[in-house]
């Protein structure tokens, strides 16, 4: 009911954190380019195969970005669509099933809609059928101006692999669309080549496969390497087209690519005796970058965070007030934020501890400690998920009328 929204708003407002005043509004009127990087996990960053970096471009981008080492995906069965949902709304996806399918009829106040009101042209570029994950309906609910779906791309047998259009061709063909958009724009690119089963033509294979007992993991590193290259070329092309300087970039991994099913191979690659539940949680980290061309104060940040925190961060960079919004994340760049993330399965991580599957671990060593050590955050973790679910199941944002 409409009194529930008051309860939820009191909760989310009490968790609001003020922005860093030096960063508030620095991206005002700039284009925003999001790149949703398919299935990439942080363990590939600064890691090698036979002496070759898996992600040379993304490694170098760290020096020139705000890079978040302890950033977790928070998705569940809705995979890419969950990540889209979380980032657009700063709400959690569902515990099971996909909110994109079950709640596309809800009222939302999503990031594209907010930015549209600020004069932005908003779009998604992704070479798949528009109805996949019910995107056509959900994007409408989020207020996107346009979805450049598979019909906006020339897809042939030669330029496709695995799930469809190869990333390099996808980015190259997207340049023409970008150039026609009114500025400032907010555009999200969703890559595809680094998707299970991680297939690649030989000519696109830039590093060796691994030699573990998992063919999936062995091939994964090569498709990650390919995606890294495709993004590097995209940056060069944006520079050549004059679209780079006046844009800010947010790059993030959408969800894991290698499931626990491949733990034995993963432990071989990471040279660990075994992958414990603690390690499994740590493996849910995905790379996250905020890259602002010309910015001098970029740094690598240790704050524990997740996809839920992206929306308030972008809003603050644009100088858009959001203290009163129903959102469950906090600005990643706020000096006042708590280092904390809750995953969709109820696991949570702080600066010092990891809680998962009813056990509490020291974050620094992975050593199991008394469950009471995790208690200070367990109530918040439960309430975050509880109130967010309440918003979705009760369609509460329909009561959130503009003041």
State which residue, 79 or 188, has the beta carbon closest to ligand GP9.
Answer: 79
Residue 255 annotated as binding? yes
Could you tell which of Mn ion, ligand GP9, none binds residue 58, using a CB distance below 5 to 8 A set by kind?
Answer: none
State which residue, 38 or 53, has the beta carbon closest to Mn ion.
Answer: 38
Could you tell which of ligand GP9, Mn ion, none binds residue 190, using a CB distance below 5 to 8 A set by kind?
Answer: ligand GP9
Residue nearest to Mn ion (CB): 80
Residues that bind Mn ion (CB under 5 A): 38, 79-80, 254
Q: What is the 3-state secondary structure (H, E, C) of 191-205?
A: CCCCCCCCCCCHHHC
Residues that bind ligand GP9 (CB under 6 A): 79-81, 126, 128, 132, 190, 192, 195
Q: How far is the CB of 255 from Mn ion (least distance, A)?
A: 6
State which residue, 132 or 399, has the beta carbon closest to ligand GP9.
Answer: 132
State which residue, 94 or 126, has the beta carbon closest to ligand GP9.
Answer: 126
Q: How far is the CB of 164 from ligand GP9 (least distance, A)?
A: 8
Could you tell which of ligand GP9, Mn ion, none binds residue 106, using a CB distance below 5 to 8 A set by kind?
Answer: none
| 45, 224 Cβ separation under 8 angstroms | no
Residue 38 annotated as binding? yes
Residue 254 annotated as binding? yes
**And the tokens for 240?**
């050549």
Q: How far is the CB of 149 from ligand GP9 (least distance, A)?
A: 9
Residue 52 annotated as binding? no
Q: How far is the CB of 129 from ligand GP9 (least distance, A)?
A: 8
Q: How far is the CB of 192 from ligand GP9 (least distance, A)?
A: 6
The reply to whether 365 belongs to the active site is no
Catalytic residue of the set 12, 55, 75, 80: 80
State which residue, 79 or 353, has the beta carbon closest to ligand GP9.
Answer: 79
Query: Active-site residue numbers?
Result: 80
Binding-site residues from annotation: 38, 80, 195, 254-255
Binding-site residues from annotation for substrate: 195
Binding-site residues from annotation for Mn(2+): 38, 80, 254-255
């Amino acid at each position: 009911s409409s009194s529930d929204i008051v309860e939820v708003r009191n909760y989310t407002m009490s968790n609001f954190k003020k922005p860093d005043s030096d960063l508030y509004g620095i991206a005002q009127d700039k284009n925003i380019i999001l790149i949703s990087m398919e299935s990439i996990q942080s363990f590939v960053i600064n890691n090698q195969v036979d002496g070759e970096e898996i992600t040379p471009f993304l490694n170098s981008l760290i020096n020139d970005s705000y890079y978040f080492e302890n950033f977790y995906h928070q998705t569940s069965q809705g995979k890419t669509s969950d990540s889209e949902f979380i980032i657009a709304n700063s709400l959690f996806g569902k515990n099971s099933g996909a909110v994109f399918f079950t709640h596309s009829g809800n009222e939302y106040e999503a990031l594209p809609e907010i930015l549209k009101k600020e004069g932005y042209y908003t779009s998604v570029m992704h070479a798949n059928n528009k109805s996949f994950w019910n995107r056509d309906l959900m994007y409408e609910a989020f207020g996107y101006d346009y979805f450049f779906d598979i019909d906006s791309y020339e897809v042939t047998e030669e330029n496709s692999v695995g799930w469809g259009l190869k990333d390099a061709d996808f980015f190259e063909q997207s340049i023409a669309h970008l150039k026609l958009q009114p500025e400032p724009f907010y555009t999200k690119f969703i890559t595809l080549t680094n998707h299970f089963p991680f297939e690649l033509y030989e000519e696109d294979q830039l590093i060796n496969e691994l030699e573990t007992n998992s063919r999936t993991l062995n091939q994964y590193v090569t498709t990650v390497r390919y995606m890294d290259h495709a993004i590097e070329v995209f940056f060069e092309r944006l520079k050549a087209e004059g679209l780079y300087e006046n844009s800010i970039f947010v790059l993030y991994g959408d969800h894991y690519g290698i499931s626990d099913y491949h733990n034995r191979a993963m432990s071989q690659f990471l040279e660990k005796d075994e992958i414990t539940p603690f390690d499994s949680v740590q493996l849910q980290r995905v790379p996250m970058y905020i890259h602002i061309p010309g910015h001098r104060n970029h740094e690598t940040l240790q704050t524990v965070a997740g996809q839920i925190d992206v929306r308030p961060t972008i809003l603050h960079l644009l100088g858009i007030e959001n203290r009163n919004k129903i959102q469950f994340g906090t600005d990643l760049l706020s000096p006042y934020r708590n280092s904390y993330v809750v995953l969709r399965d109820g696991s949570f991580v702080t600066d010092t501890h990891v809680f998962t599957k009813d056990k509490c671990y020291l974050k620094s060593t992975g050593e199991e400690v008394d469950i009471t050590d995790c208690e200070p955050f367990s109530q918040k973790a439960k309430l975050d998920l509880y109130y967010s679910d309440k918003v979705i199941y009760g369609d509460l944002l329909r009561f959130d009328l503009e003041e």
